[in-house]
Amino acid sequence: MAEAKTKPTNVSVASYLAGLTNETRRADARVLIKMMQEATGEKAKMWGPSMIGFGSCHLVYESGREGDWPVACFAPRKPATVIYGLTWFAGHEALLAKLGKHTRSGSCIHIKKLADVDLSVLDELIRKSMEALRAKYPG
């Protein structure tokens, strides 16, 4: 089985943020860092070259594939900020409907700017997904 490419690194989150050329992405990343730190109780850490993650859990998929993954994470990409794993719980569709302007791919949502979404709904999505992930994959 291939080794996961997305792993924690020793790259500083602050230096990564300083390298972001889009000021909206940088400002939004700071808001998301605060939000995810409060939700998880974990400090931000770089995962791979561009993902900012919080905490860690060991996932085992139905296919048998397994690996470590952040409990909450996002990546400020050029076209939009991608927030991973927001569909880990029943009822996520109702919250996504109230979130505001976003697109979705799988369990990820893409937001061009946080000003386009309801931050209290986003916080609830993050917290409920994190709780569901920790319940499914304790330890």
Please give the CATH architecture assigned to the domain spanning 13-136: Alpha-Beta Complex (3.90)
Q: Which residues of the chain have pLDDT under 70?
A: 1-5, 139
* Residue pLDDT, tens place only, 49-78: 999 999 998 887 778 788 888 999 999 999
Q: What integer pLDDT is reported at residue 118 of this predicted model? A: 98
The predicted structure's pLDDT at residue 4 = 60
Say what the pTM is.
0.92
pLDDT of residue 2: 47
Residue 130: exposure state from Cβ atoms within 10 A (0-12, 13-18, ≥19): buried
pLDDT of residue 3: 53
